[in-house]
Amino acid sequence: MNTHELIIDCFAGGGGASQGIEQALGRSVDVAINHDPEAIAMHLANHPNTLHYTQDVFEVNPFKVVGDRPVGLLWASPDCTHFSRAKGGKPVKKEI
């Protein structure tokens, strides 16, 4: 993958997948998208060189995000589980 190609992390959460991508490819994720402001704040703290969108991934304008650059990697993690606060559920345990 060349450095001109964008790396985009959808459903980015706190940045676990972005960290793995960075370790595997040796460069930062260019764009992270997540609807949860707390998750994006954590992602921003861990990945300050990434452009962040606090929006539903289905509402982001892809042309605005990529401009004229090709996308080399689009990572889309599975959505949050039903008991996750991010999906509106209640955690099974307070500790989680």
- Please name the residue that has the structure tokens 């099974």: 92
Q: In this structure, is residue 72 part of a structural domain?
A: yes
pTM of structure: 0.81
Other beta carbons within 10 Å of 76: 13
Q: What kind and span of H or E run contains 40?
A: helix 37-46
pLDDT category at 77 given cuts 50, 70, 90 is: confident
CA distances from 33 to 44, 67, 85, 95 (A): 11, 16, 17, 26
Q: In this structure, is residue 1 part of a structural domain?
A: no
Domain hosting residue 70, numbered range: 6-87
Q: In this structure, is residue 92 part of a structural domain?
A: no
Q: In what order do the strands lie in the sheet with 31-34?
A: 51-54, 31-34, 6-10, 71-76
Q: In this structure, is residue 23 part of a structural domain?
A: yes
Task: Identify whether the C-beta of residue 69 lies closer than 8 Å to the C-beta of residue 6.
Answer: yes
Q: In this structure, is residue 56 part of a structural domain?
A: yes
Count how many domains the chain has. Answer: 1
Q: In this structure, is residue 34 part of a structural domain?
A: yes
- Please name the residue that has the structure tokens 């892809």: 62
Looking up residue 76, the CATH number of its domain turns out to be 3.40.50.150
Q: In this structure, is residue 96 part of a structural domain?
A: no
Q: What is the pLDDT of residues 27-74, one digit of tens each?
A: 999 999 999 999 999 999 999 999 999 999 999 999 999 999 999 999
Q: In this structure, is residue 19 part of a structural domain?
A: yes
